[in-house]
């Protein structure tokens, strides 16, 4: 498996829509002026400025890293809690990649609009679930064609809507 290709966004997409995952992995990108993408970017840029310490390593981009009581905390900032399981798995992916490099951290999902903070810990069960998902993500990426579109509640505001339904 070539996990170097897998990013947090792909993990998130796997839990939302596997067609979106395939399109994104194959660099078929939606128009950047999509209002939902713009709102998400703005929320990420304009919130938690005091704590903001975005880091990039390898294929990972963590929204916020901070020290709290001597512990490393990594956070993922989201527009809403609508896709909370996907966001949680994305954050678990970051924690897993940090663990592989010998960095022990805990995670927080931050949803500023809803004033929510959800603690996320990488335990054995979560790690096994993530490893299983990474195998399946790799299979989807290697597929010659994208999965067929399936109408789900996320479609209405998806930046890839035109790739599936137009």
Across 27-39, average pLDDT:
63
- Give per-residue burial for 53-69: e unless 16+ CB within 10 Å, then b: eeeeeeebebbbbeeee
pLDDT at 27 over 50: yes
pLDDT at 164 over 90: no
Domain boundaries, the chain: 3-165
Q: pLDDT at position 38, please?
A: 45
**Encoding tokens for residue 69?**
């009581």
pLDDT tier for residue 22 given thresholds of 50, 70 and 90:
very high
pLDDT tier for residue 94 given thresholds of 50, 70 and 90:
very high
Please name the CATH architecture into which domain 3-165 falls: Alpha-Beta Complex (3.90)
pLDDT, the chain, mean: 85
pLDDT tier for residue 30 given thresholds of 50, 70 and 90:
confident
């Amino acid at each position: 498996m070539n996990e170097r290709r897998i990013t947090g966004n792909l993990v998130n997409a796997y839990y939302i829509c596997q067609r979106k995952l395939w399109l994104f992995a194959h660099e078929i990108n939606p128009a950047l002026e999509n209002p939902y993408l713009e709102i998400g970017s703005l929320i990420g840029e304009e919130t938690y400025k005091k704590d903001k310490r975005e880091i990039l390593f390898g294929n990972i981009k963590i929204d916020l890293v901070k020290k709290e009581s001597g512990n490393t905390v990594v956070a993922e900032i989201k527009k809403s809690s609508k896709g909370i399981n996907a966001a949680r798995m994305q954050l678990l992916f970051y924690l897993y990649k940090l663990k592989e490099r010998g960095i022990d951290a805990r995670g927080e999902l931050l949803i500023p609009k809803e004033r929510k903070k959800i603690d996320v810990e990488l335990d054995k069960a979560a790690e096994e679930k993530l490893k299983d998902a990474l195998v399946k993500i790799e299979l989807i990426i290697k597929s010659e064609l994208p999965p067929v579109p399936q109408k789900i509640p996320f479609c209405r505001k998806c930046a890839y809507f035109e790739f599936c339904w137009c």
